[in-house]
Structure 1
């Protein structure tokens, strides 16, 4: 009698275990779950790529500064050159020019826009 009860209980436990495993696997194969898993993997890949790109950009910036310093030393360029004086405008703009007027009937002959 105990043998039958043992094997019956063992069979029930195996059935429950197999059923839960199958149900979990079926749930993982639903379209919603597959879409969520793909989105998570895409986000992870994007973060990894961004981290690598930032690291690459920092390496490029450091190497660029190093190379610039090497060229400055090799060419004997002063590190703090004197800046040129700011440029002055030759004349003020003519505010009487038709492009500044409020009239909407003005048509610029140089405007090649098709919708004017």
Structure 2
């Protein structure tokens, strides 16, 4: 009688254990749980990718600064920089032939003179 009870109890325990395992696996395979698992794995992969990208960017920046220093040394650009501003630019002034300050025979007189009379340009007369 003791043997039957032992095997019965062993069978019940094995059945409960198998049922529990199957139910856990079924819960893992539901669409909601699969979506959550996929999202978590995507977040982890994104974090690893971001860490690698940051490491790569820092390495590129360091190498760029090193190469820039090498080029500066090779070209002699490491001399102290003059902090004074350059002198202001001077712009050429265009003379208006019809202005009262225009003088015939000046250095700015054009070689070709039109035969018709010219008038000062007035924007308001175009309308």
Do these two structures clear the TM 0.5 threshold for a shared fold by scoring above it? Answer: yes
Q: Does the 8 A contact of 1:72 with 1:78 survive in 2? A: yes
CA deviations 1:74-115 (Å, max 9, x no partner) are: 111125422462797x9xxxxxxxxxxxxxxxxxxxxxxxxx
Cα distance change on mapping 1:79 and 1:11 into 2, 3 Å: farther
Residue 15 of structure 1 and its aligned partner are, at CA, apart by 0.2
- Whole-angstrom CA distance in 2 between matches of 1:49 and 1:7: 54
Where do 5+ consecutive residues of structure 1 fail to align? 91-116
Query: Which of 1 and 2 has greater Rg?
Result: 2
Counterpart for residue 10 of structure 1: 10
Q: Is the 8 A contact 1:72 1:79 kept in 2?
A: no
Structure ranking higher in helix proportion:
1
**What stretches of structure 2 of length at least 5 have no aligned partner?**
91-127
Greater relative CO, 1 or 2 (CA 8 Å, sep 6+):
2
Runs of 4+ in 1 over 4 A off after TM superposition: none
User: What is the Cα-based RMSD across aligned positions, in Å?
Assistant: 2.2
Give the structure 2 partner of residue 31 of structure 1.
31
- Does the aligned pair in 2 maintain the 1:27–1:33 contact within 8 Å? yes
State the aligned residue count: 90
